[in-house]
């Protein structure tokens, strides 16, 4: 959500003086943080949600169509055909 964020850069920040954030799940402070107006992309979020839903339904234990571990393997192999 920062203007300086760039996934293609090794440290994921285009600001050379910014400290590297090792654990991005924990709270951190960056002196170079500048909020980005374009950080949220609704189309990208919808696509990510659809993929997550597909994965959840594929690996759901409540799915009656997948009864045994062999069925799980068959379903996984279909992904690569």
Per domain, the residue ranges of the chain are: 1-39, 42-78
- State the Rg of the chain over Cα: 20
Mean pLDDT of 20-30: 83
Kindly report, residue by residue over 27-46, the tens digit of the pLDDT.
888 888 888 887 778 888 89
d(CA 53, CA 40): 20
Residue carrying the six token digits 């189309």: 43
Kindly report, residue by residue over 39-69, the tens digit of the pLDDT.
778 888 899 899 999 988 888 766 555 456 7
Q: Is the pTM of this model over 0.75?
A: no
């Amino acid at each position: 959500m920062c203007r300086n964020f760039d996934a293609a850069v090794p440290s994921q920040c285009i600001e050379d003086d910014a400290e590297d954030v090792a654990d991005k799940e924990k709270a951190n402070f960056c002196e170079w943080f500048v909020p980005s107006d374009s950080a949220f992309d609704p189309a990208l979020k919808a696509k990510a949600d659809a993929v997550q839903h597909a994965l959840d339904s594929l690996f759901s234990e409540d799915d009656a169509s997948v009864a045994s571990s062999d069925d799980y393997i068959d379903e996984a192999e279909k992904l690569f055909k």
